[in-house]
Chain A
């Protein structure tokens, strides 16, 4: 049934696909995850604050990001980030950010909205008494958060955070619309060049499936271990 297909094209392009494409995809995923969790946690803390100056902007930001399609955000940020960056450092001209950093910033800002909701639930799951106990010992807000609340919230939410990261990993393939050579972008280029669309896209799907599936499996395993510790 596969006669007429040329699966050799995959083998021939493996180094390019993985060394260039997958490296980009994984680096982008890792950096956006780290940045997104940090920024998302700050957003969650702001949202849970009783001070309107913090909670209103945070809620607006999170809701806005969550109601706009990612592709649009990618386009917008790709064109806006150089200008905003220039504005921040006070330069007249837009600064050259480059496709990689532009994607890292975009994904960090976008995913932060989702991580924020996860961390918000995590923070709220910690009994009030834990905060009281921290405060009663003389810990200030940041110490109570950093030593008492966030470590527990993070641990409770780890499976959900990782599940969100799997989604992020898949979402990064959307940078393909900016003609960036991520894993999908690399495969697309080969596919076009050699006219082997079916083979390449099939292969890409399989690779995404294997990675995502093993990660989900790992998360499930982790979930059971966390349940035991608790």
Chain B
């Protein structure tokens, strides 16, 4: 059973169709990179996975549960799927530790001590343990994003979603975040990553999905995608992003 399975998922904003019959899957332990031009629906696609974006037709099954179904407990499903945002979205009024503890305590019901121990362990893993008592505003973008990854991992997720995790970062900070993600991928985490970092894709992705105008135009293994992209649009897109 795949960890995430899209079956003909379509979504509209009024008349405007953002997703058109999207079908794909992510197996357990697989790393899938999603790329495509701006406005092609990449963010919308991965936000469907944890129900942040509702969709109108098709089916989306995550860990055996149908996301759109009425009987699905969305909060519970979300607590099992980590999500990392382009703009970090750490809670600015809480310290780094409090950011990591919040959902552990209030959603998973861990004690504060238990949660703090877990948080410190994860902060160490992303190289941020010295910054635990600080507020997000006192950290650089790269540091904030590493904390955000740790916040997702603190919930012991079965999969992690990343929506352009490095595109709001200054160039010199991109690698510190990508390094954390590469390590995570190599440890076998199931990951769905919206990103234009083709270096990252080449290194750890199993598959690459190319989207354009709400459609999944290409869904191929990494080697096929970089070796012989079949669609005109993917070729054009690749040449554009690989040449800058």
Contact = CB atoms under 8 A, between A and B. Distances in A.
Contact of A136 (B78, B92, B106): B78
B85 interface: yes
A151 B155 CA distance: 23
A137 B107 contact: yes
A59 interface: no
B93 A137 contact: no
Given A133-B91, A143-B106, A147-B106, A138 B137 contact: no
Interface string A6-42: 0000000000000000000000000000000000000
B38 interface: no
Contact of A138 (B47, B79, B89, B93): B79
**Residues of A contacting B: mostly:** helix
Nearest to A148: B91
Contact of B75 (A132, A139, A151, A229): A139
Contacts of B92: 152, 230
B231 to A, nearest CB: 31
B151 A137 contact: yes
B85 A132 contact: yes
A138 B83 contact: no
Please provide the 7 A-B residue pairs with the shortest distance between their CB atoms, ordered closest to farther: A138-B79, A133-B89, A137-B103, A136-B83, A138-B107, A129-B89, A138-B78
Interface of B: 47, 50, 52, 75-76, 78-83, 85, 87, 89-93, 102-103, 106-108, 137, 151-152, 155
30 contacts: A127-B87, A129-B87, A130-B89, A130-B91, A132-B83, A133-B91, A135-B75, A135-B78, A136-B50, A136-B52, A136-B78, A136-B82, A136-B83, A137-B103, A137-B151, A137-B152, A137-B155, A138-B75, A138-B78, A138-B79, A138-B107, A139-B75, A140-B75, A143-B106, A143-B107, A147-B91, A148-B91, A152-B91, A229-B137, A230-B137
